Amino acid sequence: MGRRFVIAMVMLWVPHVLGAFDQPNVLFIAADDMNCDLSAFGNSQVVTPNLERLCQLGVRFDRAYCQQPLCGPSRASIMTGLRPDTLDMHTLKHELRQKNPDVETLGQLFRNNGYFVARAGKIYHYGNPSQIGTDGNDDPETWDQRYNPVGIDRSQQENITRYGAGRQKDKNLGISMAWWDPESRDEEHTDGLVASKIIELIKEKKDRPFFLAAGFYNPHCPYVAPKKYFDQYPIDEISMPDLEEAKRDLADVPPMAIQRDQKNWPYYFKDVTVDQARKCKQAYYACNSFVDAQVGRLLDALKENGLMENTIIVFWSDHGYFLGEKGLWYKRKAFERSARMPLIISAPGMAQGKTSFKPVELLDLYPTLADLCGLKPPTDLEGHSLRPLLVDPNDAQWAKPAVTQVWHNKKSWGYSLRNERYRYTEWLEGKAGRELYDHQNDPEEITNLADQPQHAGIVERLSLQVGDYVRLKPYKRQ
């Protein structure tokens, strides 16, 4: 990949590479199901001043992608630096240690090197909201301390409005078109309590190196936030895609690409109206702004305790999210909107106020943090340190694509490769269809070019590339 890239990778093994910033702290901030509908990522409607502030402190990665658009495998991949196929994890089951007993997680690496390591909220998968207040699918070996606060979004679920046929009050809210806008303080909600706990730990541990993870549950459904955040988004200013146009967008898409969404299209649930979907979109935006406010509290705490100059700050979401585009809702799709999510990194001595348009992956976070903190990571990590892009956000030597996979069952799975121009997707290694989108001319992925003869050479080249990443266990494939 070029001499400069190789040199940057060698630096993984050199301790204390930050020079004067010896043993920097890490503040690791996660959102749940957050897409890039943020002012910090170019959507001026969605108010996120604190994420904008964080972008000015570091590098915004405009083309960052998850390994699988589903919470469980995505989060396990982030915390191990390994792809879902390597971990053999593709569902929401609690099986990280069962299948990978000797894996050294990101938190373990820091614990083993003298850091205080703790989390509040959701970092590994939790049933949201059902497992709020528990350890969920957490890995105890990752942390010194774990905190599981519970707010009114979990304790007062009877107040949540639900849409869609059969959505009675006793039904699971983990996948729902549901919202609530109480007159409440931030600290009455789980995410407000998560932020408060991390602020407390920042104050307590400021005199020793720490790795603190703030795992926010929003904007995952049900979409619950204080009313003041809803008020930022008048309902008549929330637009929804035209459904006739949305249906046309899907005409050239392989059926497997949207098989979970076809039965009750649009919006996943039967009998959800456009106006109800609009209300949920408003609620989702409100939750994004609520999370942004908690990020602001964390940044203020670092500043107040004199830690901004010696703390690496990472903000990420586990995958993207559909809000009616193509008539779709939720995640678990190989389209750009489902695979792409916000990623911002601020690190001492690195670029500030810059944007990288190079494709990167969430599993790159593990080697990046090891590199920046001068720690020796496991030798089998499958990502690469983002240090070259933190120095020069558009380093010409960075040529690694981003690969996202979808797995529903052994008869339904696919892999999607994103480079700087194209997204290419194969379903069942091409036997169930292919997709090719030219993001230079078609950023919304309206026209599938895969079967057009003039693009056959591109399809052949990208098919060979994506084939290198297909490592699904035999029992999980047709």
Q: For residues 460 and 393, give the distance between their C-alpha atoms in angstroms, rounded to a whole number.
A: 30
- Strands ordered across the beta sheet of 25-32: 145-147, 116-121, 210-219, 25-32, 311-317, 343-346, 59-61, 354-356
Bridge partners, 145 (sequence order): 118
DSSP 8-state class, residue 260: T
Q: Which of these is catalytic: 71, 221, 280, 373?
A: 71
Upstream peptide bond of 69 is cis (omega within 30 degrees of 0): no
Amino acid in position 417: L
Helix (H) or strand (E) holding 456: helix 456-467
For residue 354, give both structure tokens: 């810059």
CB atoms within 10 A of CB 207: 7
Convert 430-444 into a string of H (helix), E (strand) and C (coil): HCCCEEEEECCCCCC
Q: For residues 124 and 136, give the distance between their C-alpha atoms in angstroms, rounded to a whole number.
A: 8
The per-residue DSSP string of 103-134 comes to ---HHHHHHTTT-EEEEEE-SS---TTTTTTS
Q: Of 406, 192, 150, 169, nearest to 294 (Cα)?
A: 192
Report phi then psi at 214, rounded to 5. -105, 110
Residue found under tokens 């981003």: 402
Residue found under tokens 């695979």: 339
CB atoms within 10 A of CB 85: 22
Q: Which of these is catalytic: 90, 125, 220, 319?
A: 125
Q: For residues 76 and 138, give the distance between their C-alpha atoms in angstroms, rounded to a whole number.
A: 10
Q: For residues 125 and 113, give the distance between their C-alpha atoms in angstroms, rounded to a whole number.
A: 25
71 is catalytic: yes
125 is catalytic: yes
Q: Of 22, 26, 107, nearest to 346 (Cα)?
A: 26
User: Residue 405 in 3-state DSSP?
Assistant: strand
Return the active site residues: 71, 125
